[in-house]
Amino acid sequence: MSVFSRFPERLQHAIAHELGFASLRPVQELAGEAILDGKNAVVLAPTAGGKTEASMFPVIAGLVAAPPSGVGALYVAPIKALLNNQEVRLGKYTEMVGLRRFVWHGDAQQSQKAAFIREPAELLMTTPESLEVMLMSPRVPVQTLFKDLRYVVIDEIHAFAGTDRGAHLMSVIERLRDLSEHDVQRIGLSATVGNPEQLAHWIAGTSKRENVLVDPPRPKAERRIAIYLREDITDFGRTAVREGKGKKSLFFCQSRALTETVADQMRDDSIEVFVHHGSVSKEEREAAEERFATGTNACIVATSTLELGIDVGGLDLTFQANAPSTVSSFLQRMGRTGRREGTVANMTFLCEDTVYVVQDVALVLLAARGWVESVKVETRCWPVLVHQMLAMTQQYGGISAERCWLMLERVPDFHGIGKDEYLELVEHMKREGYLFEAGGLLSMGQKAEKVFGKKNFLELYAVFSTPQLYKVQTESKRDLGSLEQAFVDRLVDEMSTFLLGGRAWLVVAVNHDERLVRVRPAPRGKKPSWGGYIPQFLGFAVCQEMKAVLTSDEDYPFLDATAKVALAEWRGDLGQLLRDTRDTLQFDGDTVTWWTFAGGRINQTLKYALEWKSGWKVVPDNFALKIQGNGLSPEAVLEILTPLRAPEFWKSADTRQKLRSLVPEYRLSKFQHVLPDAWQTEVVGAYLLDFDGAASTLALA
């Protein structure tokens, strides 16, 4: 029996006659079968591969067959823009069978939310933060609203997994599970990832349903790649206009600032240009998408907001400024093209530096071999544990430590935290005034109310803060511009460098009280170690592939002449050293450069180990560590590295605690400061350090 024949007749008729579907795609057949059979599912398919229909058709079938009392299904997305984009599509799918959908997020009017509470729609579209608002609000009758909840569909689930927002989402789903009469069925929609089985296990949480992966084989598709090296970033826009004239294109940038710069360069009479990033208003975005969808000579310049499944119609070309940091991002972005009959998936990279040329070649080669990153599996997500403890005191008006733990221990992202550690945290939060206990119930303490209680506890609805801007000034107090807090929180005095106004700057000091970053010009030849909108730590596999590119003599036909010359020069400068030397050390009489090509986190870990054991100053990036200090020589570095090569060095708890203690106080979460010092250090260390990777790198070196 086909999946289509298992749908209610009303849905069959609508799919065939209102949507005009002649048949279902393979991913829709396989996903439909799994979901109709009551299984939790992770559905893997490329951009525009039909994942939405694969999940929503069987969910709608279930809601039609047995109409729910209240909300029967949730559709959760990582960003509001994706919700807004899917609003019309899912509205059409529900309305054609007599159901309703409602979109609840910060832009929805209070009158609309009140109407929804009075008469709930069967499908609720929302974000994790908005679900938190509903659970915490005394005006939302969640006990009745979610009593008959049966399905949760999570779009772009790979964007959640391994992050604080992912831990938050799973926590909220487990709290909703307690409100529902059902074992809520979980369905995740994802791009290709390297460890889909772990993703499926993570999304299942405490559900007792069988878990399945839906990953149909894909036909080999033609891809067209071009990598250009440009002397001046101002040529990015000119190239995109020249190649995109008369076509529809999408231009990806790694930062909002670069997005605005490129868009400004492209604006002339020959092509219509739109900007799409997190700061663009809903009205402007919708107007741009509508005009873009009907146009034939236009380009949207975007950050990663258009990487996450937002439909802007058929595209002819995609451009990328410099390089994305992962194979997954590259495939997502290139997958925007090649969707129409007779078109080819393509990507044109425009690079301002040879490093980006090599990085792009590495991404292309890894993708061609079918390799893609695994999503991170997190089990000790301390900041979200704090967030959920405080949120539940508000939801229940007081909750016992035992009941709170029984709810928290079910969340996969907390499985590595023991009950004794949790109770230790409770006592710490009581001592510090974040929790108050009376009559055996925990409630929010005065300090927590002062920190998080502003604007009716707005800061408790999300695990991330509303971006704050920091002024950037030179030592002579000349204003250079501003940076968002998410970027500033990862800067380290006298170590971090970044680009602003087309120049590289070294951080002198960060003053969080005055929201001020004091800088001076970075030394010549020192590349920014923190580039773009957020720090880009490249992974080990990508960096190792870059090393392979530099030590190869292969000619890549997708490079332009300028890029080929630059690659040949870097191969001549560095390739021989990387090929011939086991420990790739360069010494110029003042600095030893150790070329590891191990990635940002591993190199940061090696930095602290070297500084601890030698007293030298070490500055790492994704590819190398630059070492300076007294008594420095390649032989002295090798002598220091000898005991570090022993596996037991990295397994030692003392080593790990010592290295974590050397890490500066990066502020990665607004809940970080609530934790005891040891766990604050652990949180930062988990972000910045990779002990196992460091051990493996030294074993290979």
List the chain domain ranges. Answer: 3-214, 223-368, 382-460, 469-521, 581-700
Burial readout 284-315 (b: 16 or more C-beta within 10 A, e: otherwise): ebeebbeebeeeeebbbbbbbbbbbbbbbeeb
Q: pTM of the prediction?
A: 0.86
Q: Which of 277, 423, 250 is nearest to 337 (CA)?
A: 250
Q: For residue 423, list its beta bridge partners.
A: none
Strands 516-521 and 503-511: antiparallel
Name the class of domain 382-460: mainly alpha
Domain formed by 3-214, architecture: 3-Layer(aba) Sandwich (3.40)
**DSSP collapsed to 3 states, 343-377:** CCEEEEEEECCHHHHHHHHHHHHHHHCCCCCCCCC
Domains 3-214 and 382-460 fall in the same CATH topology: no
State the Rg of the chain over Cα.
26
Spatial separation of the C-alpha atoms in residues 648 and 639, rounded to whole Å: 17
Structure tokens at 584: 């790739």
Spatial separation of the C-alpha atoms in residues 314 and 59, rounded to whole Å: 27
pLDDT, residue 1, reads 77
DSSP 309: S
Structure tokens at 645: 């090569």
Structure tokens at 507: 């951080």
Please give the helix or strand (H or E) that residue 223 lies within, else none: strand 223-229
pLDDT tens-digit readout, 358-414: 999 999 999 999 999 999 889 999 999 999 999 999 999 999 999 999 999 999 999
- Ranges of the chain whose pLDDT falls below 70: 47-48, 256, 269, 276-288, 304-313, 455-456, 464-469, 485-486, 489-490, 499-503, 524-536, 581-582, 701
CB 292 within 8 A of CB 321: no
pLDDT tens-digit readout, 461-496: 777 655 566 788 888 888 777 777 667 766 777 777
Q: For the domain 223-368, what is the CATH code?
A: 3.40.50.300
Which residues touch 605 (CB under 8 Å, ≥6 apart)? 659, 688, 689, 690, 691, 693, 694
pLDDT, residue 231, reads 79
Structure tokens at 698: 């030294």
